[in-house]
């Protein structure tokens, strides 16, 4: 894999991440508006609202984490001497570790 290809990989990951996140957020938006027509006192309404919202927000967070880590691995495969790949992996792992460390 050449260096320009690996540079394009992170762009492709962001592009697809953006498309998927946009589609999911669109569905989440429809669910939130639909939920306003339901009985707010019902447990299922609360689960629907919170569940859909959490999926959308977590997906947004996953876009940079996955894009950085995956592209970093590709960068390192091209040249392990190039610090950029290691730095990308480092930032991706740091962001992911925040989930565990809170």
Partner 1 sequence: MAELLLLLGVGVVTGLAGGTLGVGGGFILVPILFSWLSWPMLAAVATSHFCGMAVSASATANYSAAGLIDWRLGIIMEVAAVAGAAAGAWGARWIPLDVVGVAFAVVAIFSAAKMWSARKESAGVSDEASPINRRSYVLGLPAMFIVGGMSGVLGLGGGVFIVPILTELMHLPIRRAVGTSVFMVGMNAAAAGIVYFLHGDVPTHTASVLAAGVFAGAMIGSGIQHRIPSVALRRTFAVVLVILSARLLIRAIGA
Residues near partner 1, by CB under 8 A: 7, 10-11, 14-15, 17-19, 21-22, 25-26, 28-29, 32-33, 36, 49-50, 52-54, 56-58, 60-61, 63-65, 68, 71, 83-84, 87-88, 90-91, 94-95, 98-99, 102
| Whether 65 contacts 94, CB under 8 Å | no
Length of the chain: 102
User: Which residue lies nearer to partner 1 by CB, 21 or 73?
Assistant: 21
User: Which residue lies nearer to partner 1 by CB, 80 or 94?
Assistant: 94
Decide: helix, strand or coil at residue 45.
Answer: helix
CB of 61 to partner 1, least distance (A): 5
| Whether 85 contacts 72, CB under 8 Å | yes
How far is CA 31 from each of CA 18, 35, 61, 98, rounded to the nearest angstrom?
A: 20, 6, 20, 29
CB of 65 to partner 1, least distance (A): 6
CB of 15 to partner 1, least distance (A): 5
């Amino acid at each position: 894999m050449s260096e320009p290809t690996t540079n394009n990989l992170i762009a492709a990951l962001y592009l697809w991440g953006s498309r998927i996140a946009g589609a999911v957020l669109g569905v989440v938006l429809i669910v939130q508006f639909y939920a306003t027509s339901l009985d707010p006192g019902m447990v299922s309404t609360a689960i629907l609202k919170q569940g859909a919202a959490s999926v959308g927000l977590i997906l947004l967070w996953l876009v940079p984490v996955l894009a950085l880590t995956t592209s970093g691995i590709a960068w390192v495969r091209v040249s392990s001497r190039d610090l950029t790949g290691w730095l990308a992996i480092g930032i991706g792992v740091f962001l992911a570790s925040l989930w565990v460390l809170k």
